[in-house]
Amino acid sequence: MFATLSDRLSATFKNLRSKGRLSEADIDATIREIRRALLDADVAVPVVREFAGTVRERALSAEVSQALNPAQQVVSIVHEELIAILGGQQRPLHLAKNPPTVVLLAGLQGAGKTTLAGKLARHLREEGHTPLLVAADLQRPNAVTQLQVVGERAGVPVFAPHPGASDDGTVPEEGRRWWERSKKADPVAVARDGVEEARAKQYDVVIVDTAGRLGVDAEMMQQAADIRDAVHPDETLFVVDAMIGQDAVTTAQAFSDGVGFTGVVLSKLDGDARGGAALSVASVTGRPILYASTGEKLTDFEVFHPDRMASRILDMGDVMTLIEQAQKAWDAEQAEQMAGKLAAGEDFTLEDFLVQMQQLRQMGSMKKMLGMLPGMGQMRDAIENFDEREVDRIEAIVRSMTPTERRTPKIINGSRRARIARGSGTTTTEVNQLLERFAGAQKMMKQMAKGAGMPVPGMGNL
């Protein structure tokens, strides 16, 4: 995410830091570099122009020349101005005074609306809401089924008037008949019925998934506008694929004119090394970015914090998000049990190790987590090469042990090692390595239990 931009900006600042005092020429050279980096990352031209102008003006002012560390002050100005173009403050979802809150999703086909609907529903459910998903995308035969699948994964009910096509995109007989009918069915009526259903059954948020087209199209805009007029959304979220480059801005403008929206969701932020167009959307449309979608899994979802994103772009890390994800995965009860056990002088076993692994997994992919640490830009290659399957292998090995072996790994002799390797589809060498690493972790846990309290789950062992 924003890797190239991040690298370019870091290199620019490195040059700057080597200088003690900054002349106007130094500042101009820096601004030129920043401008080029932003343009190469696809940030829209007017946004770049304004950004560079503001940064230059501030960099030439007294706040920099009188600063103790002028270079650091320039970085800090860039940080602040990046936050500004990303929308400033984090903006939460506006909830209706009288529930249900109606959230309408709009965007091109393939933008990631249906996936986002599931992620948002899951997120809201975790926050204690009772969401209902409404399938008003009757354009694609399997859109309804797709929403039903993500709804089920998110543990959120889906209002769909008819069965959709099956998962693989084929339309079963019953679905086919429905599909024939539904081509005449009215998505506006479905959306309206869905909101009614939510009101009657006391769901407090309704998320309405609408149909997109491959390109901006008058009929699609009209349909979205008709749905909007029928359900009076509290929020209309424009979902935009960060990978579509400069088109993101033109599409955003078309949706802004055609339907209007109150907030933006950036999707597929995981896939794009440039991503700059996404940086322009808030600025160009004047609408805040509420969420970011960062992968195909339901958990690949983040509340968008402009300040944290700016820090990530400047390679200052996003420790807050990392901590929040750790807290979500962290089971306080289990932690207490473990701390108590260790304090009582009991051994840290392979079973505990497995529990820690699982908690670590719940935090999301290692690559994403490592990427949030400050200064990780320099280690980008190492992160890219990190093999997520390593965690799978460790888990498979521990799972292939008997409970007794997990509790007393000392008994795992040569033939047991060979059996475990076979059972887990790994090699004896890998089993040996894990046992060695575990022995180290066990030692560390013992020391920690004596003095320093609980470490972060699994971190020390990897």
Residues near ligand GDP (CB under 6 A): 107, 109-115, 212, 267-268, 270-271, 293-296, 300
110 assigned ligand-binding residue: yes
Distance, in Å, from the CA atom of 369 to the CA atom of 387, rounded to the nearest integer, reads: 13
Q: Terminus-to-terminus CA distance in the chain, angstroms?
A: 24
Please report how close the Cβ of residue 375 comes to ligand GDP at its closest, in angstroms.
26
Are the CB atoms for 232 and 261 separated by under 8 Å? no
211 assigned ligand-binding residue: yes
Distance, in Å, from the CA atom of 29 to the CA atom of 12, rounded to the nearest integer, reads: 9
435 assigned ligand-binding residue: no
Please report how close the Cβ of residue 114 comes to ligand GDP at its closest, in angstroms.
3
Distance, in Å, from the CA atom of 452 to the CA atom of 160, rounded to the nearest integer, reads: 54
267 assigned ligand-binding residue: yes
415 assigned ligand-binding residue: no
Please report how close the Cβ of residue 364 comes to ligand GDP at its closest, in angstroms.
13
Residue among 115 and 223 whose Cβ is closer to ligand GDP:
115
380 assigned ligand-binding residue: no
261 three-state secondary structure: coil
Residue among 74 and 243 whose Cβ is closer to ligand GDP:
243
Residue among 267 and 280 whose Cβ is closer to ligand GDP:
267
Structure tokens at 385: 């090469």
Structure tokens at 158: 């889906």
Residue among 27 and 243 whose Cβ is closer to ligand GDP:
243
Q: Which residue has the tokens 């993101």?
A: 248
Distance, in Å, from the CA atom of 393 to the CA atom of 407, rounded to the nearest integer, reads: 19
Residue among 39 and 366 whose Cβ is closer to ligand GDP:
366
Structure tokens at 224: 């979205």
Q: Which residue has the tokens 């770049």?
A: 48
Q: Is the dihedral of CA 430, 434, 439, 441 positive or negative?
A: positive
Structure tokens at 76: 């800090």
209 assigned ligand-binding residue: yes
Residue among 105 and 434 whose Cβ is closer to ligand GDP:
105
200 assigned ligand-binding residue: no
Please report how close the Cβ of residue 270 comes to ligand GDP at its closest, in angstroms.
5
304 three-state secondary structure: coil
Please report how close the Cβ of residue 136 comes to ligand GDP at its closest, in angstroms.
12
Distance, in Å, from the CA atom of 121 to the CA atom of 123, rounded to the nearest integer, reads: 5
For residue 363, give the DSSP letter.
T
Please report how close the Cβ of residue 48 comes to ligand GDP at its closest, in angstroms.
25
User: Which residue ranges make up the annotated binding site for GTP?
Assistant: 107-114, 209-213, 267-270
User: Which residue ranges make up the annotated binding site?
Assistant: 107-114, 209-213, 267-270
